[in-house]
Chain A
Amino acid sequence: MPMTIESSRPASTPDGTPVEELVVNIGPSHPSTHGVGRVIVHLDGDIVVRAEPVIGYLHRGIEKMAESRTYLQVVPLTDRLDYVGSMYANWSYCRAVERLAGIRVPERAEYLRVIVCELQRIASHMMGIGASAADTGASTFFIYAFDHRERIVELFEELCGARLTYNYVRPGGVSYDAPEGWFDRVTAFTQAFRYGFDELDQLYFGNAIARGRLKGVGVLTPEDAVAWGASGPTARASGVNWDLRKHDPYSVYPRMDFDVVVGERGDAYDRGRCRLFECLESCRIIDQAVAQISGGPVRTEGLRRLIAPKPGEAYDHIESARGSLGIYLVSDGTPKPYRMHVRSPAFCNLALLPMLAEGHTLSDLIVVLGSLDPVFGEVDR
Chain B
Amino acid sequence: MTHDEMTALLERIAAHNPVLFPLFSLEFGDAVVGVERGELLATCRDLFDAGFDRLGMVTAVDRGEVFVLVYRLHSRSLSAAIFVKTQVPRHDPWVDTVVDVWPAALWQEREVFDLFGVEFQGHPDLRRILLPEDFVGHPLRKDYDDPRMIRRPDYI
Are A338 and B61 neighbours in the complex by a CB distance under 8 Å? yes
Q: Give the number of chain B interface residues (Cβ < 8 Å).
A: 36
Q: With A and B bound together, what is the CA distance between A20 and B53 in angstroms?
A: 40
Per-position 1/0 for A56-83, Cβ under 8 A of B: 1001010110001110000000000000
Contacts known (A227-B104, A351-B106); A326 close to B129, Cβ less than 8 A = no
Say which one of A136-144, A209-217, A340-348 lies at the interface with B: A340-348
Assuming the contacts A229-B56, A315-B72, A351-B104, asked whether A380 and B30 have C-beta atoms less than 8 A apart, the reply is no
Find out whether the CB atom of A380 lies under 8 angstroms from the CB atom of B130. Answer: yes
Known contacts A56-B130, A61-B139, A330-B61: does B28 contact A100 (CB below 8 Å)? Answer: yes
Please state if B130 and A55 are interface contacts (CB–CB under 8 Å): yes
Instruction: Confirm or deny: B2 has a beta carbon within 8 angstroms of a beta carbon on chain A.
Output: no
Report the bound CA distance from A339 to B128 in whole Å. 21
Count of chain A residues with a beta carbon within 8 Å of a chain B beta carbon: 40
Encode A218-245 as 1/0 by CB contact (under 8 A) with B. Answer: 0000000011110000000000101000
Contact B56 A228 (CB under 8 A): no
- A335 interface hit (Cβ, 8 Å): yes
User: Nearest B residue to A355 by beta-carbon distance?
Assistant: B103
Question: Does A194 sit at the interface, judged by CB under 8 A?
Answer: no
Let me know if B156 and A56 touch, CB within 8 A.
Answer: no
Q: How far is the CB of B25 from chain A (nearest CB, A)?
A: 10
From A312, A317, A324, A339, B27 is in contact (CB under 8 Å) with A312
CA–CA, A343 and B53, complex, Å: 17
B24 contacts chain A at the CB level, 8 A cutoff: no
| B 45-74 binary contact with A (CB < 8 Å = 1; else 0) | 000000001111101011000000010100
Q: Which residues of B contact A (CB under 8 A)?
A: 27-30, 53-57, 59, 61-62, 70, 72, 76, 79, 81, 83, 102-104, 106-108, 111, 115, 128-132, 139-140, 151-152, 156
Residue pairs across A and B with Cβ atoms less than 8 A apart, 15 shown, are A56-B130, A56-B131, A59-B131, A64-B140, A70-B156, A99-B29, A229-B108, A247-B79, A312-B28, A313-B28, A317-B56, A328-B59, A330-B61, A350-B107, A351-B106
